[in-house]
A and B are shown apart, each in its own frame.
Chain A
Amino acid sequence: MIRQLTSSERQNAAVIAIAVAIVGLAMAAVGRTDVLGVHGVMVMLFAGAVLFYVLSGLYQPEPTEDRETSYYDDPIKVGIVLSMAWAVFGMFMGVWVAAQLAWPNLAFDAGWSSFGRLRPTHTTGVIFGFGGNALIATSFHVVQRTSRARLAGQLSPWFVLLGYNLFCLLAVSGYLIGVTQSKEYAEAEWYADIWLVIVWVTYFILYLRTIARRKEPHIYVANWYFMAFILVVAILHIVNNLALPISWGHAKSYTVWPGVQDAMVQWWYGHNAVAFFLTAGFLGMLYYYLPVRAQRPIFSYRLSILSFWGITFFYMWAGSHHLHYTALPHWVQTLGMTFSVMLLVPSWASAGNALLTLNGAWHRVRDDATLRFMMAAAVFYGISTFEGSFLAIRPVNSLSHYTDWTVGHVHAGALGWVALITFGSLYTLVPSLWKRERMYSAALVEVHFWLAIAGTLIYVFAMWNSGIIQGLMWRTYTEEGALAYSFVDSLVAMYPYYIARAFGGLLFLIGAVVGCYNIWMTVRSAPLAAPLNADVPIAPAVAGE
């Protein structure tokens, strides 16, 4: 990998690593009486490891050929490996916390392993670790192929990828040692947040510069989605995380937003993290890898443009549906509800567009589990966006809010849509990237598919049941007009579903492990002698829409 860098680029890499290590040292010094010091040491070790790698390859031969004649795939490969590693970690944490709800003694009486600290390691591990690395890797791939141009930087892709993973490490390790803002899906503290801003701005500039050097006149629509993902996540992250640290030597900070403002800002962030992290970015994947795998152009390009602007515009208004019947002003709740319902239009347009693309290729869906992953993802996307609009309606929300129904909804989206589209994309991407004819084992892809589907269905059905039962028990009255059930009654009714949910999650985790094995064996297998694309026909000429 270091062979792709010129010697001056290697020196720059070393300088950056040293600079980061110095920042780590400073953090360790000023924060020596606080948990901040622990993170300072971690930053130093991380930067030190990078530095060691760079220095050990400093005098390797420089690249001889013109790098601009090939795509830059090394960071993508590393990103895929990291993504799968985070998937296993994050999903394992998920199974563990799910099991704790059924068997609370699985916390083993320690602070770091209690539900409240492990839960954000699960959410951060799967959303940012697994999802984020997959987004970075696939966006690097898609932007190069659709622009017919190499990434506009040799070092910056590595900075983005490794810097992002440093952020994830700081976040996840922080929760275990008690560093958290307790802002849902934005728990990392101020210094990690600042670091992410630096990484993200680099990512944005790199992406923009790569698009600017494209040879295709038109920017393919997948890039629009990736672009929206990068841009809006930056805005959300900065606004939501504005905070005042109690001192430079402490990890603890207080958010600048008090009470009701904080609630609105947090859910504006929270819901748009769903929109632009977990939807827009993955739609970018969908609009590239699904047509490529099916070898059919997207059903309607125009529809993809309309739904792009619909999603970009409508989602931003929807966050307040998380705060129905609360102390948030009524009109803001109504606005959030209205736009959440309207969101169904662009969402179903996207899902329908994906499924109609497969029309005429259903025999391929039947035979190819990779394509089936993406087909199922589109179906789950349609289901969970419908469910989302439904749950945002105020009276429905009065039942579902605070219950497991919300958790079931999130996982219908996260497992059924986000994870399935990612696995489908990675199974498409891995053989082409490593220049293998196909995945090591088509049968294992098949096994993974059915484990993932079974796991998702068990999970969401368990949570739909438990959520609705819970919601109904809370509002059931006796004939005398008293509440019929105590809170504990409703908790007792949940236990069977908590066990079923943990089992569903376990199946999903096993599927991911199978996927890791399959990818690893693919990478290890012999590369193709002939150039790639033996089984990729030239684009068929399809006239009109």
Chain B
Amino acid sequence: MPEIFHRKLERSAIGLVIAIIAAASVGGIVEIAPLFTIDETVEEAPDMRMYTPLELAGRNIYVREGCYACHSQMIRTLRDEVERYGPYSLAVESKYDRPMLWGSKRTGPDLARVGGKYSDFWHVAHLTNPRDVVPESNMPAYRWLARTSLKMEDLPLHLAAQKALGVPYTDEMVENAARDAYGQATPDTDFAAGVATRYGDETQVSAFDGVKTDVTEMDALVAYLQILGRLTGAAYENTAAPEGKPNPEG
């Protein structure tokens, strides 16, 4: 019986195709299938908020510039990482991230908890020319970001797409996306108040690049960097102080 079966298999090109699919797909399915239900295992974080339109735009600049090639956003459960960067990353913290930007290489440091660690001014100076701030740095200079106006009119489309994929943006947020992006970077205008109403009082409204009139890509990127690790406090609740966290391998 196996002889007949295998001879057919070998002789038939279609048989080979089916056999390859059977052998190859199961590994993937066994590993992948449980991930479709993995939302059940992702931690609860009731305080989790979404990216504001400006932060999302900043995230898209981070994506566009390929920052993930040198910066991870995933603190592993290792003592030295927790002490260097902060509480280890939880799955829930990237639940609105499309794509995830965990990264695979640290030519520069991890950025999962860089939000709030430095001032806006520091970030602008650093992005303008990293070697002004960190003389040994080999990061590219991004001074042209401050010269490039942020394209805001498409932002409702971005939020609508995210909403369609399950991110709980409201219709009001989608409608006001462009205004909110403008308002978050221009604290003195009428638009600034709407951001706090829709995304919470803790939202950082600031002239990130120091220029209050114009919204540039620098504003958006700094706004994004400043929210990294601050969408939820869950990681701090779970892990307490860094030194209290035992080595998970120990």
Contacts and interface: CB of A to CB of B under 8 A. Distances in A.
A and B, direct touch (CB closer than 8 Å): yes
Interface string B74-93: 10111011011000011101
Contact of A326 (B74, B105, B137): B74
A372 B76 CA distance: 43
Interface stretch (B58-66, B182-190, B218-226): B58-66
A60 to B, nearest CB: 35
A219 B10 contact: yes
A425 to B, nearest CB: 22
A264 B67 contact: no
Contacts of A329: 34, 38, 41
B76 A324 contact: yes
A134 interface: no
Nearest to B95: A259
Nearest to B110: A402
A265 B102 CA distance: 13
B240 interface: no
Contacts of A194: none
Interface in A260-318: 260-266, 268, 272, 276, 309, 312-317
Interface string B194-220: 000000000000000000000000000
A363 B90 CA distance: 58
Contacts of B69: 115-116, 119-120
B117 interface: no
Bin chain A's interface residue count.
Answer: 35 or more
A345 interface: no
B160 interface: yes
Nearest to B64: A178
B168 interface: no
B96 interface: yes
Given A116-B140, A252-B60, A312-B20, A259 B65 contact: no
B66 A182 contact: yes
A97 to B, nearest CB: 9
A231 interface: yes
Contact of B84 (A101, A219, A328, A474): A474
A440 interface: no
Interface centre among B26, B91, B93 (most CB of A within 10 A): B91
Nearest to A225: B20
Contacts of B60: 252
B31 A320 contact: yes
A266 B100 contact: yes
A208 B21 CA distance: 14
Contacts of B246: none
A535 interface: no
B162 interface: yes
Interface in A488-504: 488, 491-492, 495, 498
Contacts of A349: none
A261 B35 contact: yes
A484 to B, nearest CB: 10
A395 interface: yes
Contacts of B13: 208, 211-212, 219, 227
Contacts of A258: 94-98, 100, 165-166
Interface centre among A212, A219, A320 (most CB of B within 10 A): A219
Contacts of A498: 138
B16 A219 contact: yes
A107 interface: yes
Contacts of B142: 111, 114
**Lowest 7 A-B CB distances belong to which pairs?**
A316-B27, A116-B66, A325-B76, A259-B94, A327-B91, A114-B140, A402-B106
Interface of A: 34, 100-102, 104, 107, 109-111, 114-117, 119-120, 175, 178-184, 187, 208, 211-212, 217-219, 224, 227-228, 231-232, 235, 244-247, 250, 252-266, 268, 272, 276, 309, 312-317, 319-320, 322-329, 332, 335-336, 339, 395, 398, 401-403, 406-407, 474-475, 477, 483, 487-488, 491-492, 495, 498
Given A104-B131, A256-B98, 6 more contacts: A104-B130, A182-B66, A208-B13, A314-B27, A316-B25, A326-B74
Interface of B: 10-11, 13-14, 16-17, 20-21, 23-28, 30-32, 34-36, 38, 41-42, 60, 62-70, 72, 74, 76-78, 80-81, 83-84, 89-91, 93-110, 130-131, 134, 136-144, 154, 157-158, 160-162, 164-166, 248-249
19 contacts: A100-B138, A116-B68, A119-B69, A179-B64, A184-B104, A224-B20, A244-B164, A250-B154, A250-B157, A260-B35, A263-B102, A317-B28, A326-B76, A329-B34, A332-B31, A401-B104, A402-B106, A488-B134, A491-B137
